[in-house]
């Protein structure tokens, strides 16, 4: 197996891109779904979602109508300077670098 060691800065950046991608594609629009898709701990998933704004990625929680406050999904409203197509094109590299399935 190849060593995919990357810097903490790059892994943080890739993790944010990957989480935003999973939310945007509907694969993992909630913290439990992110945990299942990536194996990351709850706190890491929550912190990563909260930090998307640092990249000017606008991520908002949409409450399901009539449901309790914490029932709903996250949606990406704006990608800022991030090119979503680049993420799609480099998805295998991003996943591999982070050690995600």
**CATH architecture designation of domain 8-98:** Orthogonal Bundle (1.10)
- pLDDT band per the 50, 70, 90 thresholds, residue 4: low
Please indicate, yes or no, whether the overall pTM of this predicted structure exceeds 0.75.
yes
* Residue 81: how many other CB atoms lie within 10 Å: 7
pLDDT for the residue numbered 89: 97
Res 12 pLDDT > 70 = yes
Listing DSSP states for 36-70 in one string gives: HHH---HHHHHHHHHHGGGGT-EEEEEEPTTS-TT
Q: Mean pLDDT across the chain, nearest whole number?
A: 93
Phi and psi at 75, nearest 5°, equal: -135, 145
Per residue in 41-81, pLDDT (tens digit) is 999 999 999 999 999 999 999 988 887 777 899 999 999 99
CA distance 39 to 85: 24
């Amino acid at each position: 197996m190849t060593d995919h060691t990357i810097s903490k800065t790059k892994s943080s950046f890739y993790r944010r891109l990957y989480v935003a991608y999973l939310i945007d594609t509907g694969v993992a629009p909630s913290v439990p779904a992110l945990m299942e898709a990536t194996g990351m701990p709850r706190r890491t998933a929550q912190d990563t979602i909260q930090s998307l704004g640092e990249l000017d990625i606008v991520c908002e929680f949409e409450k399901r109508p009539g449901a309790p406050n914490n029932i709903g999904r996250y949606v990406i409203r704006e990608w800022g300077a991030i090119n979503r197509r680049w993420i799609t094109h480099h998805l295998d590299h991003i996943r591999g670098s982070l050690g995600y399935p």
